[in-house]
Structure 1
């Protein structure tokens, strides 16, 4: 089943890569490294550094908040797609979609800035039900490839 969102509709787009990660802290730098390695052959014109940072933030959130109750063996899945000239990255976890929200932390708060980074660097982002069950958070980097 395909879910559609108002901010940017899902269309059938070529998947450029995917990874499945264990929900451990070591998976965050692994996700950054793997994403850089797997996206580089496609030579995107958008900032790969920015994309890797956003992947890192979303994987961190998925690990911290993505566990479904009673689910002992779960994973975080990251997929990236070419949507015309844009790069779309999705992070899936078994948590509940209602839990994803943009926070406005105080200056002295140690956490809560991940989605603010996504909101400021990506052309758009949203969240909703994952086709694998649970939650999907995705962002789009516009102008990743020429028209």
Structure 2
């Protein structure tokens, strides 16, 4: 199995959906497609394409920097919190390694969190409840009050 998706979250939960991805490059476009498909029925007022870009960056980082001795997965979850959208990306890497970088113009990598930092209302990194690393972002005013 390459992936799973939670299409039917509980009505009393703020979680709108979740996906579990294998740590392969093919999972990045899959995450973009799924998020577009499963957020659309909730009719968000925010830019879905901005969210897709941020998810793409965070899933790429999770795949690149996640580490585990056993086979592992990347988890993506999205939540509605009042009028905001919060997206979490989990991987088994070490939380202290998440930081904003200041790449030189010639650097091929290191801009993902800068994009998230410039687009999202806020972002956070720390320990994941699944073990490993959580990186999340919040988009304010994703839905009207």
TM-score (norm 1): 0.89
- Aligned residue pair count: 134
Secondary structure (helix, strand or coil) at the match of 2:57 reads: helix
Secondary structure (helix, strand or coil) at the match of 2:144 reads: coil
Cross-structure match for 2:36: 36
Task: Kindly indicate whether the alpha-carbon contact (under 8 Å) linking 1:94 and 1:133 is maintained by their aligned counterparts in 2.
Answer: yes
- Alignment counterpart, residue 70 of structure 2, candidates 69, 72, 79: 72
2:126 corresponds to 1:128: yes
| Higher RCO by CA contacts (8 Å cutoff, separation 6 or greater) | 1
Deviation at 1:13, TM superposition (A): 5.8
TM-score (norm 2): 0.90
CA RMSD of aligned residues (A): 1.1
In structure 2, runs of 5+ residues without a counterpart are: 1-11
Kindly tell me: are residues 126 and 13 of structure 1, through their superposed partners in 2, closer, same or farther at Cα, counting changes over 3 Å?
A: farther
Structure 1 segments of 4+ aligned residues over 2 angstroms from their partners: none
Alignment of 1:46-61 (within 5 A): 46-61=46-61
